Amino acid sequence: MIPALGIIFGLGILIFIHELGHFIAAKSMGILVEEFSLGFGPAIVKFKIKETEYKIAAIPVGGYIKMKGEDPDSELTGSKDEFLSRKTHEKIIVALAGPLANIILAAAIYPVIFMGIGEKEAVLTPYAQIAGTIEGSAAESAGIIRKDIIEKINETEIRSPSDITPIVSGSAGNTLFLTVRRGDEVLKIAVRPNKREKYDYIYYELGVYFKIDPVIGPLPKKSNAYRAGLREGDIIVKSGGREVFSFTDIFEDIVDGSALLLTVKRSGELLDITVPPVLTSGFNEEGKIRKAFRYDLTSEYRIVKSGFGEGISRSLNALGSDFLLIYNSLRIIIKHPKEARHLGGFITIGYILSKSIREGIAEYLAWIGMISVNLAVVNMLPLIITDGGLILMFMFEFLTRRKMKKKERAVLQYTGFALLLLLFLFIMKNDIMRYL
């Protein structure tokens, strides 16, 4: 029930905010707005306030506002309350207001997450101890082994795993000199990070994963792990009879769907607890949605809230990252057309929102923010039936000093509609294929 409400609210607020942007811009200029509709088709609920009729319609895949004098083929009187009778820059402002409202929504959401709700942050060990190396990695080739502690890289002291990532990323593949503690020994190990490339992106990695203390983090009382008897702060000693060094060890040798047998230490006492799995779903490596089993327990984490300055800075970075992600995704699709299979529509958006709400309000709001930015960008595509297409048409009329002819407009409208329909059908096919 809650995931369903999360989908309805998420999609509803995205559409509402977009149309509200157009509505406020039009009303502020004195343009008469005849209808404000969430959804298309026959009205489920409708009421009228002054000159505007407000509706919630049966097909919840968009919305619109209907302004007086917005039909290019209608008789215009030149009145200021007619949309197409206004100056070019005023019409462009009204068209821009919808996408801008979606960007403002995202810009308002991120400070709430960073400064108000806070984020989950893993409790890292106060040292960088190796839990394992990836086969064929630079670290394995250099002789780094499980339980090694990296104390220095070059002359930089390492206090936690988070200190290592920026050093390796900025290494440009040059040899790094590690000071490593192995038991009572201190070793000097030279390692050259592996260069990796995907979709023209180059990055560097050592090929290690670090120890996460095997301590149980906060557990919801409705979780299988809590009902089975686990409690926050329990120290995992064994999993399936095998000794546990790092939290990730508990999932080794687990058959999909089997129960998880843990031995935990609590107040000096050892307890054997069997945790049943949770049937869930998620995207696999091929981008398909598949049923899978997981265990609803996590390692220790804390909720961290940013101060005002840091919160604003992180919010701006998050907003910028959303735009960068869209740009990079489009660039990848253009250069590698097969990757277009990862595009998703309303079904995928609904699935993501339903999953994220189970992870917590911060995760849910973050997805709404990202989708809102995507909606703004999609609406700025230069198709005649989108906001971007309208702006293009208004700019054409302004630069040529003439109205677009009916035939010209019809060609653009039908072309735009056909392209949008093809994109919609392609994305719908992607959505369906994710479940097959």
State pLDDT tens for residues 361-419: 899 999 999 999 999 998 888 766 788 888 888 888 888 888 777 777 777 777 877 87
The single-letter DSSP state of residue 74 is S
Q: Partners of 302 in the beta sheet?
A: 121
Taking the C-alpha atoms of residue 203 and residue 252, their distance in angstroms, rounded to an integer, is: 28
CATH of domain 128-210: 2.30.42.10
Residue-wise pLDDT for 269-326, tens only, equals 999 999 998 887 777 666 677 777 888 888 998 899 999 999 999 999 999 999 988 8
What is residue 94's predicted lDDT score, i.e. its pLDDT? 94
Question: 355 to each of 8, 318, 360, 364, how far by Cα in Å?
Answer: 13, 21, 10, 8
pLDDT at 339: 76
Domain boundaries of the chain, sorted by first residue: 2-118+367-433, 128-210, 224-303
| Homologous superfamily of 224-303 | PDZ domain (2.30.42.10)
Nearest-angstrom CA–CA distance, 430 and 346? 11
Torsion of CA 239, 244, 249, 251, to 10 degrees: 10
Least-confidence region, from 44-53, 97-106, 387-396? 387-396
pLDDT at 1 over 60: no
19 is catalytic: yes
| Mean pLDDT rounded to a whole number for the chain | 87
What is each CA distance from 153 to 143, 171, 191, in whole angstroms?
15, 11, 10
Distance CA 38, CA 59 (A): 9
Task: State the average pLDDT over residues 332-339.
Answer: 79
Q: pLDDT tens, 161-197?
A: 989 989 998 888 899 999 999 999 999 999 999 988 8
DSSP secondary structure, 145-170, as one string? -TT-EEEEETTEE--SGGGHHHHHHT
Rounded mean pLDDT of 408-433? Answer: 79
Cβ count near 146 (within 10 Å): 13
Give the residue ranges of DSSP H helices in 128-280.
Answer: 138-142, 164-169, 224-228
- Residue 269, judged by CB atoms within 10 A of its CB (0-12, 13-18, 19+), counts as exposed
Distance CA 379, CA 368 (A): 16
For residue 87, the one-letter residue type is K
